[in-house]
Amino acid sequence: MSPKNYRRGYPVAILVGAEADHAVIWQIYSHVAKLQQTIRLNGDRNDQKATYKFHEAIVNALRPTLKEGVKSVIVASPPRTSYAQDLQKHVLSHHAWLTQGTNKTTISLIVGSASTPPQISALTQKPEFKELIQENATQETENLLEILEKRLNKTDNLVLFSLEEAEKFIFNPQPQGKPQPEYLLLTDKYLANARQKGRLHRLMQVAQNKGVKTRVINAESSAGARLTQFGGIVCLAKQS
């Protein structure tokens, strides 16, 4: 991971700023917020067909980041509007798979505008926003813990418990039909205390580039405590 990427930190959530005629999608990292995409509403919000297409475009824009393992989505809309609720209802009605199962996405709503950098700066400093981030992180780590425990109890899934094993497994292409890397999980304490940070950051970057879901987990959480028992880092594989 380059110094520039390291300064932005690790992925935490996706923030959608829903407005009357557009939506702005931001990737929220532990240190900064990065603009991803602006999506325009082609038509009027009273036009159900136009609104449906608008919401579908938002969901499609979220897919790549969700596939990377980020499972927290926060939707913001100005006071006295229902834009955030409308998007949430669309997801629950047409994409229920997103919010179900052990790999589910948590969708939370917050009042506020999130279209411009100043608005993002103000919104992310709100106590309510920080609480949502923490609540969603707790839910996500519980889901990850469930996935970890299931993998530990299966003989056909590979679980690796060291930096060296994870590097070998992720850096080297695995033969077709063999288990493939799916998750790279590590605690924030493991990341902070790593003696060879450059080596660890490189592994995280390569993993992300290869589509491995890379998550940094609070060491004080239940999932973090479980990871700590294994040394603070775990790589999970799935059958191809």
Rounded Cα distance between 59 and 53, Å, is 10
Q: What is the pLDDT of residues 148-197, one digit of tens each?
A: 888 888 766 578 899 999 999 999 988 888 889 999 999 999 999 998 88
Is the per-residue pLDDT at 64 higher than 80?
Answer: yes
Q: What's the rounded mean pLDDT across residues 10-22?
A: 92
Domains of the chain, each with CATH number or no CATH: 3-141 (3.30.420.60), 154-238 (3.30.1330.30)
pTM of the model: 0.75
Instruction: Give me the pLDDT at residue 107, please.
Output: 92
Length in residues, the chain: 240
Q: What's the rounded mean pLDDT across residues 56-61?
A: 96
Query: Hey, what's the torsion of the CAs at 68, 71, 72, 77, to 10 degrees?
Result: 80
Instruction: Give me the pLDDT at residue 6, please.
Output: 45
Sole residue written with tokens 């790999």: 103
Instruction: Give me the pLDDT at residue 211, please.
Output: 85
Q: What is the pLDDT of residues 31-49, one digit of tens each?
A: 789 999 999 999 999 999 9
Is the per-residue pLDDT at 209 higher than 90?
Answer: no
Q: What is the pLDDT of residues 89-143, one digit of tens each?
A: 999 999 988 888 767 888 999 999 999 999 999 999 999 998 998 888 878 778 8
